[in-house]
Structures are given as structure tokens and as C-alpha cells.
Homo-oligomer: A and B are copies of this chain.
Amino acid sequence: MHNPLYRNVIARITEKLESGEWRANQVIPSEWRLAEQFRVSIGTIRRAVDELVAGRLLVRHQGRGTFVAAHTEDHYRYHFFRLVDAAGTRLYPAVQLQGFRRARADAAEAARLQLKRGAPVVRIVNLLRLEGAPAVLDRITLPAALFPGLTRAMFERRSGTIYHLYQERFGVSVIRAVERLRATAAGRAETRALGVSPGSPLLEIERLAYTYRNRPVELRVSRAHTARYSYLSEIGKSDT
């Protein structure tokens, strides 16, 4: 009723993205064509696309067209990784697979991933190096249903980010994440993997990553050694 037209357009475009009719890195129809197709004015199309661009679902390139955002793009690489060095420059980690197991969701995983307890999941452990040195230990839990045929080799022979892998091989586009941070003490696993002394303080980052329609697709608990690096959080800027 009081739904503005541009919301409707946003919903219809989102459907095309979700269904895979428009795929990552592809051009979508020009604004002129969209206006014709959706029977609205170009201004309304622009309003809708503006919001989708702000939400990082689409990317505009003047003179070329509007594209479906992909995890191959540079700005996306750093979008979900927030550790910086003392000077504040963003870093990107080298990932090393340490564990890959199929299991059944425990209570915490089930609650966060909106699964039934005991639902099949995949648990992955990654060691992240920054500037060569071990810095972060990641424990990832994925709903197996969303990643059929996922194998250890896919992680080992991966090129690009992990989210790029999700997108390319399984059509799962991570578009949003919520992270909760707290301080913890290093346990046995972290002591060994990160080379820190037992009980030394680590930054714990619990991330829930979402795809379209607020569907959770990944739970990730990272423990980071923050002697030389810190987690950057900006408040009140439109974006990066």
C-alpha cells in the first residue's frame, strides 16, 4: 500500500540476483532498458540501483554499465577483513588449511546458523598469516546443505578469497556480516598454531555471514594475535 515503487524495483532486482538469473561480474541491463522492462521511469530505477550499490550488491561503471558485485573485486577483498598494521594500512592474509571435517551441528552452531541441532555441517580450520607470521586461527562452520560436494581440495587449491570460492562454486554470495568481538585467553590450539604463550590475550571475533534475505551461511570464530595488528572499526562513515 504505502510501499514506494522503488522498493518494489529493489525487490525485483534482488530476486534476479538471488535466483542467479544475473550472475556475479555480469552486466545487468542498462537503466534505460530496466525502466522499460519494469514500466517505471529512469529516475525510479536510479533510486533503486543507488541503494543496491550502497549495499554492495551492484557496482556501477560509468560508460560501461552496471554489474553484479563479485568477491573478485579488490574493494571486496578487504571488505570482510579488518585487521590493519600499526600504520593503519589494510593487510591481506595468506590462508593455510589446517582441518576439514564433516560433523553435526552442536547447539551453538544450530542456533546461529538457523539449523536444526544435528544438521550436517562442515567444520574447517584455517591458519592465517600476516606478513609471513601466523596471526589468526579461524574456525569455520558451514551448513553442508548449502555447499554440496565441498571438498578439502577446493580449499587447498583455492585462488582468491574464501568468499569467492563460495560464490563461484556454490552460488552463495556473502553480502553482509555481523561480528562480535571479545578478549579471550589463548588455549592449547592457539598456543601451538600462533606461537603465543598459554593464557596470553587474544582477540576473538565471532562472525555470522549472511547472503540475500538475511540467510546465515557461515559461522566463523577467529582468534587473533593483536600485538602487531589491530581490528579497524569505523563509526559514521558511509563506507570504506
Interface residue ranges, A against B (CB under 8 Å) = 54-56, 79-80, 82, 84, 88, 175-185, 199-204, 206, 224, 226-227, 229-238
Assess the B235–A80 pair: CB atoms within 8 A.
yes
Q: Nearest 9 pairs between A and B by C-beta?
A: A182-B226, A201-B201, A183-B201, A176-B236, A180-B230, A181-B231, A183-B183, A183-B203, A179-B233
Interface of A is mostly: strand
Q: Which of chain B's residues has its CB closest to A240's CB?
A: B235
Q: Chain B residues near A227 (CB, 8 Å)?
A: 182
Q: How far is the CB of A156 from chain B (nearest CB, A)?
A: 26
Q: Which of B183, B203, B232, B238 lies in contact with A178, CB distance below 8 A?
A: B232
Q: Which of chain B's residues has its CB closest to A80's CB?
A: B235
Given the interface contacts A176-B237, A238-B54, does A203 sit within 8 Å of B181 by beta carbon?
A: yes
Q: Chain B residues near A206 (CB, 8 Å)?
A: 230
Q: Which of chain B's residues has its CB closest to A235's CB?
A: B177
Assess the B183–A79 pair: CB atoms within 8 A.
no
Assess the A202–B183 pair: CB atoms within 8 A.
yes
Assess the A182–B236 pair: CB atoms within 8 A.
no
